[in-house]
Structure 1
Amino acid sequence: MERFNQYWAGLALVLILSIFLQLMPQWHSLLTFNSKTVMAEGWPLISAHFIHLGWWHALFNFIGLVLIVLIWREYWTTRWLINALLISGVATSVMLWIIPANLSFVGLSGVLHGLLAYCLIKDIRAGKKWMWLILIALVAKVFAELLGWQPEHFVGEHVSYIHAAGLLSSLLLYKLERRRISDAVPHDK
């Protein structure tokens, strides 16, 4: 069981699930986030993050996930990686549902922004103060996107909102890390 708790098992599970879902294009319309229907359906709050526009989109998201997990492997266990993906995915989706734009999206890039910012915050808290520079650069990039800068590889006009919502989810990840549900329940002494 100890081997399963290492980060690589969680990473393998997530990649296998994403590849499986990518191989099922007939399901994509059901799994896609659409702000008009997401709360009635529910599952696209998380499922949209694990399907992609195509194999190139999936490959780049998979590479981003693998790099984040491998570079900051000391922060990940199977359980926390899966929890972080779910928490960031749902938080990102809820924030996107709240904004007044009509959004439809798939992909992991928003969650990747959240995971990256979470790892940078952890590094800063661990004494690696120079990580502030990378975190500031990440926040500046997202602000530039919100102000209208969009590289040619962006697909859709609302990618900046997705990245911003994912970035904000990092704060929730940091707050909730390694917390148990039982910790929220008051105990009588």
Structure 2
Amino acid sequence: MFTGRPMTKTFPLRFLLAPVVIALLCVVIHLQPQWHNYLTLSENSLLAQPWRIFTTHLVHLNIQHLAMNLVALLLLAIIFRQQVQGRLLVNVMVISALFATIVPIAVSQEYLFVGLSGVLHGVVVFAGVTMTKQGNKIGFIVLAAVVVKLIFDMTLNSGYQDWLGAEVAYLCHLGGAIGGALAVPGLRRRPIDLVKKQS
């Protein structure tokens, strides 16, 4: 029997589309080390090549660093799919990346950092704040966990250094968290395209 209504196809896992695309981009970049010099931060070319502010977070030190961040990205996309997904997720990550770069430069003139973890801190904070505004008390637990993680990064991160072969860029994590919090007022109502200027 035909109802006369057009068929609508649903894609139940579409909330994974954005994180999967980002993950694949990170993998491609990791497999092309000759690109890294054009994507990572450089004090001498930052103003002339501002894309580095964002692309440095797509570069990773090694396969362990890459795998850890991509697994975290996919898990966060699943856990917080009710709070942030699709274009909203991308916009939150863009804002978080901006602050994850600005804070280390402003505080300590640090330019040597790569990886997605600072941006992911912003995603978690955005989701946590959004949950609290929705009346979900779990949001407070999420935010408390981020605070504990930041304190750990600043004080007891030697284990990461042994495993990844580099110190944790805790100022990037702090900056990303700040960016995630600041993204809430502008993005929590509806996804917006940050590339398009508001008229």
TM-score (structure 2 length as normaliser): 0.80
The equivalences for 1:78-157 within 5 A come to 78-146=86-154, 148-154=155-161, 155-157=165-167
Q: CA deviation at 1:8?
A: 1.7
In structure 2, distance between residues paired with 1:163 and 1:50: 14
Aligned amino acid, residue 41 of structure 1: Q
The farther-off stretch of 116-125 and 73-82 is 73-82
1:71 paired residue number: 79
Q: CA deviation at 1:89?
A: 0.9
| Unaligned stretches of 5+ residues in structure 1 | none
What RMSD over aligned residues (CA atoms) do the two structures have, in Å?
Answer: 2.6
The farther-off stretch of 46-55 and 137-146 is 137-146
1:165 aligned residue (163, 175, 199): 175
SS in 2 for 1:75: coil
2:52 aligned residue (44, 47, 55): 44
The structure-2 alpha-carbon separation of the partners of 1:176 and 1:25, relative to structure 1 and needing over 3 Å to count, comes to same
The equivalences for 1:46-65 within 5 A come to 46-65=54-73
- Which has the higher Rg, Structure 1 or Structure 2? 2
The structure-2 alpha-carbon separation of the partners of 1:173 and 1:163, relative to structure 1 and needing over 3 Å to count, comes to same
Q: CA deviation at 1:179?
A: 6.0
1:23 paired residue number: 31
Q: What is the percentage of aligned positions where both structures have the same residue?
A: 24
Which structure is higher in helix share? 1
| Unaligned stretches of 5+ residues in structure 2 | 1-8
The structure-2 alpha-carbon separation of the partners of 1:92 and 1:4, relative to structure 1 and needing over 3 Å to count, comes to farther
In structure 2, distance between residues paired with 1:2 and 1:175: 30
Q: CA deviation at 1:141?
A: 2.6
Aligned amino acid, residue 156 of structure 2: W
Q: CA deviation at 1:5?
A: 10
The structure-2 alpha-carbon separation of the partners of 1:151 and 1:124, relative to structure 1 and needing over 3 Å to count, comes to farther
Deviation track 1:115-139 (CA, whole Å, cap 9, x = no partner) reads 0111111111122214313312311
C-alpha contact 2:100 2:171 (8 A) present in aligned 1:
no
The farther-off stretch of 151-160 and 86-95 is 151-160
Corresponding residue pairs, total = 184
Aligned amino acid, residue 166 of structure 1: G
In structure 2, distance between residues paired with 1:184 and 1:136: 34
